[in-house]
Structure 1
Amino acid sequence: MTLVLFNKPFGVLSQFTDRGSPTTRATLSDHIDLPGVYPAGRLDRDSEGLLLLTDDGRLQAQIADPRFKLAKTYLVQVEGVPDDAALARLRAGVTLNDGPTRPAEVERIADPALWPRDPPIRVRAHIPDCWLSLTIREGRNRQVRRMTAAVGHPTLRLVRWRIGDWTLADLPPGQHRIIG
């Protein structure tokens, strides 16, 4: 069994090929040259952070399938500073257009020591921002972004930091580590 931890940079697709696009976009094949491994789950093109790849179908299903409720922790930079009521709504679960989410673990955190994003996020001089640590146990399309928007705080930057026991730790963007 092979398990690969990859720090997916902003703008990279969570797949090895880019079919059907009129322009060439960065894919996993620009960073990883390991035959037979496939992503266990997805991470949007405009999100960064931990992506796991494996050649083990059973492990891939356990990581990606929401039935297994594997915790995924994100560092989320949001517009504004969520008050206790907004955080309580996230902790209780919010209702999105595709139904209610499971409760999340969330807290305000100090600015994490992350790499600079390329391109940088938009900065608005008169609107503060804040970082959250947000853990979910499901993985709907753009879920974290939709959850923070639902409580009035759009996501500016999204970095997946942890999946289960696996974490980015000291893995730079665009780099991978084989751990199994």
Structure 2
Amino acid sequence: MSRVILLNKPFGVLSQFTDKGLEGTTRPTLSAYVDVPQVYPAGRLDRDSEGLLVLTDDGRLQAQIADPKFKKPKTYLVLVERIPSEDALQSLRKGITLKDGMTRPAQVERVEPPELWERDPPVRFRKSVPDCWLKFTIREGRNRQVRRMTAAVGHPTLRLVRWSVGEWTLDGIASGVWRDA
């Protein structure tokens, strides 16, 4: 039987168990949060992103979760700078041309600020620049895709939290905590 672990990865943590960075530097890794042998992340979540990271000991399942050809939906809660116009949201829904080509269409909608844990360090706040939360669902997973898409329509991402992958969600999982699926 395959083991599947759902981790709420904190901001600043690498999506790997060891740090192969510069000699003499140490960055937090999954090993500080998950002490389960033979499980590996199914896909990645950038160091400056938070939220659901699925880990498994099943290579085939790992590939199905991570590979865009299986079109597993991944939903993010995204705090962006300024309030996107309906035209900007429509552009995201149609797909955006990035340096590595056209993205698949995304499901995007404005949402009320979600009840989330405090981030450490906190998101910068500017009195003169409003912000807005979006619920963003994609079915591919290019490097830093959501951040690049929001920037392409003039709304840089300030905070990005992956809320779900397929049927798995963060519901009830605190930051830095994991549970079996």
Same fold (TM over 0.5): yes
Q: Which runs of 5+ in 1 are unaligned?
A: none
**Equivalent residue, structure 2, for 1:116:** 118
Residue 129 in structure 1 maps to residue 131 in structure 2: yes
**Equivalent residue, structure 2, for 1:16:** 17
**Equivalent residue, structure 1, for 2:166:** 164
Residue 47 in structure 1 maps to residue 44 in structure 2: no
Whichever residue aligns with residue 35 of structure 2, its letter is D
What CA RMSD, in Å, does the superposition of the two structures yield over aligned residues?
Answer: 0.6
- Percent sequence identity over matched residues? 69
**Equivalent residue, structure 1, for 2:96:** 94
Q: For the residues of structure 2 that align with 1:121 and 1:23, how far apart are their CA atoms? A: 24
List per-residue Cα deviations over 1:32-90 (Å, max 9, x = no partner).
00000000000000000000000001100000000101000000000000010000000
Residue 82 in structure 1 maps to residue 84 in structure 2: yes
Q: For the residues of structure 2 that align with 1:20 and 1:11, how far apart are their CA atoms? A: 14
List per-residue Cα deviations over 1:121-154 (Å, max 9, x = no partner).
1111100000000000000000000000000000
Runs of 4+ in 1 over 6 A off after TM superposition: none
Q: For residue 23 of structure 1, report the CA deviation from its aligned partner.
A: 1.2
Whichever residue aligns with residue 168 of structure 1, its letter is L
Q: For residue 19 of structure 1, report the CA deviation from its aligned partner.
A: 1.2
- Please give the residue correspondences for 1:167-178 in structure 2 after superposition, counting only pairs within 5 Å: 167-178=169-180
Q: For the residues of structure 1 that align with 2:90 and 2:5, how far apart are their CA atoms? A: 35
Secondary structure of 2:142's match?
Answer: coil
**Equivalent residue, structure 2, for 1:56:** 58
Secondary structure of 1:177's match?
Answer: strand
Whichever residue aligns with residue 147 of structure 1, its letter is M
Q: Which runs of 5+ in 2 are unaligned?
A: none
Q: For the residues of structure 1 that align with 2:85 and 2:111, how far apart are their CA atoms? A: 13
Number of residues of Structure 1 aligned to a counterpart in Structure 2: 179
Residue 36 in structure 1 maps to residue 38 in structure 2: yes
